[in-house]
A and B are shown apart, each in its own frame.
Chain A
Amino acid sequence: MESISGVISQLKKHGLLVAFTVFLAAVALSTDAFLSVGNILDVLRQVSITGMIAIGTTFVVITGRLDLSVGSMLTLLTVVLVDQHDHVGPLLAIIIMLTTAVALGAFNGLLVGYLKLNALIVTLAMLSFLQGLTLLYSGGSNVNIPNAQTTWFRFFGRSDLFGIPVPVILFLGVAALAAFLLGRTVYGRQVYAVGGNETASNFSGVSSSRTVFWAYVLSALATGFAAMILGSRVMGAQNTIGQGYELTVLAGIILGGTSMLGGSGSVWRTVIGISMLGFIQNGLLLMGFEYYVQWLVTWAVIIVAVWVDLAGKRGRVLA
């Protein structure tokens, strides 16, 4: 008996994984192409950009804050990276871009962490501001890399290592590092502490301002890594290239089961949530549905996933 209830409680804990597996099995049964290594790698490559950002934003969400500025930030960083690549070469361009990313993250962190302004509004303001900054920088024109075939910069987005696309390796590698940082270090514990109970964490000597500050820096840094993959993949950038990413990123994080109230969640949950979004899209397309049906399904999946999670936690279906 005990083992059965143990299994059930395990199932409840990992309900999301179970649902995901069921979904994968259903699609796999209906189309042959779905469960091939090539297709799975394709999906992972497609989600690597949103996934990379989401890894960083997960830190912010676990502290109980939001970051809506990552989409505009991705645009700005990609434009800067691609443009500088032409002027100063790939290495310096990457350094300049990542420095910009850290500075922008620090600015967000300063306003939300230290000045304690509302995270939603601050990052919404940044969303608008960074769009403007991008246009100011680019003068409204698209930028591209002319020597796309010869630059070593193509490594990040366009090459394979041991048959695995480099973006996928980067995505999963950074995820592993971030999982270590969040799960096994003092800073990681502080992130959970601040999100769980900010007052209590302040009283126990954890500076919530500092913790939130670094969470925003991490979010921006991850966006910088995503810009590397995106810039290298496209070898160019429009002024709207990152538009709407912030919502997909949030949808993936939420789908993974990280609570918007903060204090719970993990990097792996985010990786699963983001991949789920990718596999849903891919599966529906392979099954022959119209492209936009995936958005409808995403709507339903988000609500059902979060509802099931909540219902499991409170022990009844309705609030």
Chain B
Amino acid sequence: MTTVKTTGQSRVTDSAITWLFRNHIWLFLCLAVMIFSITSPYFLTVNNISNVLTQGAFIGILAVGMTMVMIDGEIDLSVGATLALSTALAIGLQEQIGVWPAVLAGLLSGAALGFLNGTITAYSGIHSFIVTLGALIGIRGLVFIYTGEDALMVQDFSYTEYAEIYLGPVSITALTFFALALFFQWVLSSTRHGRETFAIGDNIEAAHDAGINIKRHKIINFTICGTMAAVAGILLSMRLGTAEPNAGKVWELWTIIAVVLGGTRLTGGFGSMWKTIGGVMTLAVLRNGLRLLNTPNYVELMVMGTVLILALLLDRFLANRTEAR
């Protein structure tokens, strides 16, 4: 570090470095892309990038909802189970009520469960970690009861063709992810709901004193999170054509990893969809790249754990650095 900053030049570089540190996820992403492009001839091909986007999009859509909840200072552990329930309903109900009503039912189940989680959290005062831990167990039970432990199979296979809609190399799944991320970034930065979500996560008492309706915003965000889980579930059902009762198991953990890796803080009040996109893409690139390199499964798990702790250490280092000024 230079001791005296006199020229405008060094101030610019300094703020550029600070920006890069604050958005360290893009550094990670560029690094990962560079390494895999060099080490594997298959990585930087249109086909593969298209795959990465699609694979990442499922966790990505979950992460969009999770980001809203996390900026509020809450957490939702039930997204994986909610995803499985919407997948099961979307496929299982098709025979009785038709394709689109079944899809709608799947979406509504997600919204309803999110609403339930939000309402219980807001009105009982129980920490959302506990509320959604209970929901994770219970909703998974619902899925097993509904599917009877078997994978449900779609009857009309034209349903799986919706997943094959592409815009250039970008699949409908990836498009949905980016569209939702952009939309909710707009919500966060340009609407009253977004502003008040940040306010609640930053300082809940100050938000309350300022007359912000905390319960309402929390319930809305949990409902968004549940709906996002259902959207991911519907897209998964279109892609697979089956609904497995164990679908989305431990995806809530991958989702939290993606959001936190992006730089959104668990403590609330800080984060953005841009960060989440960065986190989701880094995770997807790491998983894809390591697989292209033919590394065994365990390397992926160990790299993920290490990267997560490195991101935390970097975050801590930065917090100290800003405090020291």
CA separation between A127 and B297, bound complex, in Å? 15
- The secondary structure that dominates the A interface is helix
Do A250 and B298 touch across chains, with their CB atoms under 8 A apart?
Answer: no
CA separation between A16 and B312, bound complex, in Å? 38
Do B125 and A296 touch across chains, with their CB atoms under 8 A apart?
Answer: no
CA separation between A35 and B296, bound complex, in Å? 50
> Which residues of B are found within 8 Å of A310, using beta-carbon distances?
124-126
- The secondary structure that dominates the B interface is helix
Do A318 and B124 touch across chains, with their CB atoms under 8 A apart?
Answer: yes
Shortest beta-carbon distance from B28 to chain A in Å: 15
Do A133 and B133 touch across chains, with their CB atoms under 8 A apart?
Answer: no
Given contacts A135-B296, A247-B133, A299-B135, contact A294 B141 (CB under 8 A): yes
Do A292 and B300 touch across chains, with their CB atoms under 8 A apart?
Answer: no
A319 within 8 A of B: yes
CA separation between A57 and B242, bound complex, in Å? 38
> Which residues of B are found within 8 Å of A254, using beta-carbon distances?
130, 133
CA separation between A111 and B302, bound complex, in Å? 16
Do B260 and A131 touch across chains, with their CB atoms under 8 A apart?
Answer: no
Shortest beta-carbon distance from A232 to chain B in Å: 26
B101 within 8 A of A: no
In the complex formed, the residue of A with least CB distance to B75 is A120
Shortest beta-carbon distance from B134 to chain A in Å: 4
Do A117 and B133 touch across chains, with their CB atoms under 8 A apart?
Answer: no
Number of A-B contacts (CB under 8 A): 140
A115 within 8 A of B: yes
Shortest beta-carbon distance from B59 to chain A in Å: 14
> Which residues of B are found within 8 Å of A303, using beta-carbon distances?
120, 124, 126, 130-131, 134
Do B316 and A116 touch across chains, with their CB atoms under 8 A apart?
Answer: yes
Do A125 and B145 touch across chains, with their CB atoms under 8 A apart?
Answer: no
Complex interface bits, A278-312 against B, C-beta within 8 A gives 1, otherwise 0: 00000000000011111110111011001100100
Partner of A296, one of B133, B136, B142: B142
Tell me the A78-136 residues at the B interface (CB within 8 Å). 111, 115-118, 120-122, 124-136
> Which residues of B are found within 8 Å of A247, using beta-carbon distances?
133, 136-137
Which of B153-161, B224-232, B303-311 is the contact stretch? B303-311
- A-B contact list, 20 entries, CB within 8 Å: A117-B309, A117-B312, A125-B309, A128-B257, A130-B305, A132-B303, A136-B296, A251-B134, A251-B137, A254-B133, A261-B127, A293-B141, A298-B134, A298-B137, A299-B139, A302-B137, A303-B126, A306-B130, A310-B124, A319-B124
Please name the 10 residue pairs, one residue from A and one from B, whose CB atoms are nearest each other, closest first: A299-B138, A295-B141, A129-B305, A319-B125, A132-B301, A135-B298, A132-B302, A302-B134, A132-B298, A125-B308
